[in-house]
Amino acid sequence: MQIQPFNQPPPTLGNQFEDDRVLRSYLRRVLPPEVLAEVARPLREMGALAGGELYQMQLADRLNEPVLTQWDPWGNRIDQIEVSPLWQKAEKLAAEFGVVAAAYEGKYGRFDRIYQFALAYLFHPSTDVYTCPLAMTDGAARTLVVSGNQELIDRAVLHLTSRDPVQFWTSGQWMTESTGGSDVGLSETIAKLNEQEEWLLYGRKWFTSAATSQMTLTLARPEGNPPGGKGLALFYLETHNEDGSLRNIEVLRLKDKLGTRKVPTAELMLRGTTAVPVMGLSNGVRNIVPMLHLTRTWNSISAAAFMRRGMALARSYAQKRIAFGAPLAEKPLHLDTLAEMQAETEAAFHLTFFLVELIGKDEAGEISEEEAHLLRLLTSLVKLTTGKQAVAVASEVLESFGGAGYVEDTGLPLLLRDSQVLPIWEGTTNVLSLDALRALGKSGEPLLALSGEIDRCMNSVTDGRLKAAGEVAQTAVAQAMKWLQGKLADDRNALEAGARRFALTLGRSLALAKLIEQAQWSLVVEGDGRPRAAACRFAKTQINQIVVVEPADAVALADDL
């Protein structure tokens, strides 16, 4: 008698728009009905691709990575990079769906950004971080638009925002050098003016993501400029000549990374690359800020999207996996673990899309003064908060699968490896915590605006459990404000040392408030208590991270020799 072995069925995905309760409920709350009716169709189409064809292609494409060919058979240096089949498919779909273009077409006014980032949120998890070049493309388009440089706007923005895959360009963002990532003021790239009055760039860009893009924005120091960030200028350059060859650019190598391995991240040498100043010959760091604000927002969207994908897979598996006589979905401890992960996921979602709302209002000229103060703070705050959440949830997702979560050909380890880039790219948690402190300014108006937004979210709450959860957020922010005042007055070193705990307290408090806002609406309008359950569960996590620490202990622990 032949014994049939037991094989556990793998998790499956359905339409990722139709199956996403959180996204659909949020869109019903914030979008006018006529806008929702129009955008639902493309979102549903994207959801079908994300849970179907693209997801299956992603699994099949698992072992493919970018390939760098530096020399042709006859000894000519060509430095050609070929991306994976999934990335080639993703580029075409991104253009056709308008994953960048939707933000620039002006069809829905301040709601354009919500629609665009809903598309990106669905698109991201099944495309092996093709959102990386899209983020920089969006950032470059916005930076050029606000620069007022009409020549570059006419030259590039139509390509960057095209829905035609043949015309569509992506952009790089070349800032990082071996002298330092976040400390861009140490940049060693030099810009020289030749006899034809063209600017030529010379230097090594140590970490350039999406090196296959048709153009890039980059920083360089015009000869004779002073050191530091103010002496840098923001330049526009196109990467290829008309014959397809690189424009005095050498690809030294592709980076061998922990995750985001489909992203062709390269180390480049600029050897007299033609470039055009975007906004004068100084203050390059300040001039590239519009790009950073958007790329950090894409980072936050990617975090929320990864968390949602992990939860979709974990719930599917829990319904199928039989252990000790019953599905995991019926085991109280497993349910409790999933609940904690879902609460973090919903909080990250609502925090991120609140930032998206503010960006949409700002670009449409409908933002209030208080909201503008808050927006200056949130691009750093939301990115650092969601980045940490994404890694923690991804780790729990893998653990929820047991050994299968550790096996590469399930596709699950990819979630954790790719999530790990989120607290690093576009500024680590520590760097962004210091950015958040600087964003507060001397007046502290952004902090007052954040506290006011939390109070506004609570003003309409009538449910008793949600009121109690809201008090957690209000109390945490009040303590954070008190801590800040004390440190500003007496100890700048302690202020810097506590910046991460301060920033995470603000971020998680606001996330809780936005989740409560959605939960109250869902109770009244939809009769759905699940967002309330998420809010109450999230309120029991470590929202308030302000603690009293002894600085001498940190010094002692750092010196362990």
Half-sphere exposure of 250 (CA within 13 A, CB side): 11
Token pair recorded at residue 446: 């952004």
Distance CA(505)–CA(510), nearest Å, equals: 9
- Give the start-end residues of each E strand in 180-232: 190-193, 199-208, 215-222
Token pair recorded at residue 510: 């606001």
Question: What is the reported pLDDT for 561?
Answer: 56
- Torsion (CA) 77, 78, 79, 85 in degrees, nearest 10: -150
Strand partners, 171: 215
| Residue 370: exposure state from Cβ atoms within 10 A (0-12, 13-18, ≥19) | middle
Distance CA(298)–CA(285), nearest Å, equals: 20
Question: What is the reported pLDDT for 554?
Answer: 86
Q: Is the dihedral of CA 117, 105, 46, 128 positive or negative?
A: negative
Half-sphere exposure of 503 (CA within 13 A, CB side): 31
Count the neighbouring beta carbons within 10 Å of the beta carbon of residue 69. Answer: 11
Distance CA(354)–CA(375), nearest Å, equals: 10
- 104: Cα separation from own chain's centroid: 19
Token pair recorded at residue 528: 């759905």
Token pair recorded at residue 183: 């400390």
Distance CA(11)–CA(316), nearest Å, equals: 5
Question: What is the reported pLDDT for 8?
Answer: 81
Q: What is the residue type of 425?
A: W
Look up the pTM and report it.
Answer: 0.97
Question: What is the reported pLDDT for 472?
Answer: 98
- Torsion (CA) 168, 93, 301, 383 in degrees, nearest 10: -40
DSSP per residue, 239-283: SB-TTS-BSSEEEEEE---SS-TTS--EEEEEEEEEEEESS-SS-
**Helix extents (H) in 420-498:** 429-440, 445-459, 464-490, 492-497
Contact call for residues 26 and 43 (beta carbons, < 8 A):
no
Residues 6+ apart with CB under 8 A from 466: 516, 519, 520, 523, 532, 535, 536
Place of tokens 């296959």: 212
Contact call for residues 492 and 550 (beta carbons, < 8 A):
no
Distance CA(364)–CA(108), nearest Å, equals: 10
- 422: Cα separation from own chain's centroid: 7
Distance CA(99)–CA(97), nearest Å, equals: 6
Strand partners, 271: 202
pLDDT tens string, the chain, 561 residues long: the values are 576 676 788 999 999 999 999 999 999 999 999 999 999 999 999 999 999 999 999 999 999 999 999 999 999 999 999 999 999 999 999 999 999 999 999 999 999 999 999 999 999 999 999 999 999 999 999 999 999 999 999 999 999 999 999 999 999 999 888 876 677 778 899 999 999 999 999 999 999 987 899 999 999 999 999 999 899 999 999 999 999 999 999 999 999 999 999 999 999 999 999 999 999 999 999 999 999 999 999 999 999 999 999 999 999 999 999 888 899 999 999 999 999 999 999 999 999 999 999 999 999 999 999 999 999 999 999 999 999 999 999 999 999 999 999 999 999 999 999 999 999 998 999 999 999 999 998 889 999 999 999 999 999 999 999 999 999 999 999 999 999 998 876 788 889 999 999 999 999 999 999 999 999 999 999 999 999 999 999 999 999 999 988 888 888 888 765
Residue 278, phi then psi, degrees to nearest 5 = -90, -45
Estimate the share of the chain in helix, then strand, then coil, as percent rounded to the nearest 5.
60, 10, 30
